[in-house]
Every structure is written in C-alpha cells, then in structure tokens.
Amino acid sequence: MTAFRKLSKQRAISAKAPLLYDTGCDDDGEKYAGKKLEKVLVEMNVEGAVVVARWYGGVLLGPVRFAHIENCAREAIGKWIVESREEANKKRRVEADKEEKKRLVRELAERDSSIGVLRGLLAEKSSEKLASSQTSTTDAASRSPTKTIDYSKMPLEALRRLDKARDATIAWLLREIDKAELEQKTTEGKDAPALAEVKEDSKPD
C-alpha cells in the first residue's frame, strides 16, 4: 500500500494562502488503506512517499488493521524525519567548518604579515644584542614563519592551533615593543641632565 504527497505546481492566487499539494495513493487490494496512508502524510506535514506492506498471519484483524497500518507509517516517517535532521545538521557543520577554514587561511596570512612588521619595529627600537637574546628565548612554536605557508592544505584543527600561536606571538611582540619604548624614554630622561651640565660648564666666565 502506497501514498505520496508533493508540492503542487499550481499556485494559489493569494500569496498568504496555504501551499497546495498533490497527493495520491494505491490500496493494492487493501480497500481504504491508501487513503489512510495519505492522511498520515498530511497530518505529519511531510512530502514524499510511504509504503507499507501487510501479510496475512492467519488471524482476521478487522478494522483494527488500519490502525496498525497507520502506526507503521508514522514510525517509518518519524525515523526518516530524525535521520533527515541529523543529515541536515551534519551538512551545516561541514559548511560551517569550510567557512571557518577559509577565514583562518585568510587571517593567518594577514597575521604573518603583521608579525613581520612588528618584528621589524622591535628590531628598530632595540639593540641587535637585546633583540637577538629576546628572540632566542621565544618558544619556537610561536614564531612567525620565515617563508610563505600554504595554509589551505592544512586540516582545520591545525589551523586553529596556529591561530592561537600567532595571537600569542603578536601579543608578545607588542609587549616587547612597549618595553623597548619605555626603556628608550627612561634612557633619554637620564641623559638629559648630563647634557644640561655640559652646556652649563661650557659657558664663559
């Protein structure tokens, strides 16, 4: 016994009117059973086809057989709905992961460029010895790469870890730059009185 329900090509005049559906069924010798299945499709508000098979087990069930037919159809449709939702959720997760990977690939390339600029700025504000010693104490895992990396070939989990590492590197560089600027200002402040004393001593009597 079968029944189907699908969206009709016919459209209502009013846009606010409910959607129209085409339905049909086949009793296959079990009179009224097809219409019972059709009613289940309408009540559960689903599109598609449902098939229920029945065989004679030696006992005449009478009208109650229709309840068994309907329940069987409801169980099958319910299971299909759950599986469809799980599949839809899986597809959404896959799409979300793809979008996240695209974003990370783009942002990691931007961070690498920013790290290069910050390292150059730190080198300008620090002596070569100081910059070298500070750089050598940095965790190798958080260093900016010296060559361009094709992030698109990396798995998502690896990109997430690199994203955190690049953030840590940028934060460290910013702290070191602030420290170098502070030391530079402190040094300039100490040198200023000495210059004033030289100028005072150079005045004629």
Same domain, 115 and 179: yes
pLDDT tier for residue 91 given thresholds of 50, 70 and 90: very high
Q: Is pLDDT above 70 for 41? A: yes
Does 84 reside within a domain?
yes
Same domain, 11 and 86: yes
Same domain, 82 and 10: yes
CB atoms inside a 10 Å sphere around CB 165: 17
Q: How many domains does the chain have?
A: 2
- Residue 194 has a pLDDT of 52
Same domain, 162 and 82: no
Does 18 reside within a domain?
yes
Q: Whole-model pTM?
A: 0.57
Does 129 reside within a domain?
yes
Same domain, 67 and 17: yes
Q: Are 50 and 35 in contact (CB under 8 A)?
A: no
Does 181 reside within a domain?
yes
Same domain, 44 and 72: yes
What does each C-alpha distance from 132 to 90, 129, 179 come to in angstroms? 49, 5, 15
- Residue 40 has a pLDDT of 97
The CA distance from 197 to 205, in Å, is 15
Helix (H, G, I), strand (E, B) or coil at 28: coil
Does 197 reside within a domain?
no
Same domain, 168 and 106: yes
Does 196 reside within a domain?
no
Same domain, 19 and 81: yes
Q: Is pLDDT above 60 for 159? A: yes
* Percent of the chain with pLDDT strictly greater than 90: 60
Same domain, 135 and 107: yes
Does 119 reside within a domain?
yes
Does 204 reside within a domain?
no
- Residue 16 has a pLDDT of 80
Same domain, 69 and 117: no
Same domain, 148 and 177: yes
What does each C-alpha distance from 85 to 46, 129, 195 come to in angstroms? 13, 61, 78
Q: Which domain holds residue 46?
A: 2-54+62-90
